[in-house]
Amino acid sequence: MNRKLSEFVDYDGPDASIEISLYEYGLIWKMKDEGTKEYEIIYGTYTNANCVYRKFACTTMSEKEFIDITEYSWFDKSGWDSYRDSTEISFPNDLQSAIMYHGTENIFGGTSLTFKIEEDL
């Protein structure tokens, strides 16, 4: 299944540009439910030879779920803190540093349901 980049123009990411967030950082998000602070998250699962993300997966995660993950024994908080600007958790902004330090499989679990996002903007 392929999707179009235009489907994600109302998402946020680590960069102001949705294309850069998606293809270079491999991460974008959009709030689904303000009450539970649940986000839909699109994350990169495969890069090409130029280190550009080309396959993606989708999951949902709430701020509470993310905080719970940071409390697990395997989660190295002191190492993770070296990637961050603050010791206060700021979800979803801190998600990128958690992924950089622990990897997508540790944060989201494994997935076999991937898709491509075609540039159409």
Stretch 21-31: mean pLDDT: 95
**pLDDT number for residue 77:** 87
Give per-residue burial for 73-102: e unless 16+ CB within 10 Å, then b: eebeeeebeeebeeeeeebbebbbbbbebb
d(CA 96, CA 101): 9
Domains of the chain: which residue ranges?
A: 2-118
For 46, the enclosing helix (H) or strand (E) is: strand 38-47
pLDDT in tens, 43-100: 999 999 999 999 999 999 999 999 999 999 999 988 888 877 776 777 888 888 899 8
pLDDT in tens, 79-95: 888 877 776 777 888 88
pTM over 0.75: yes
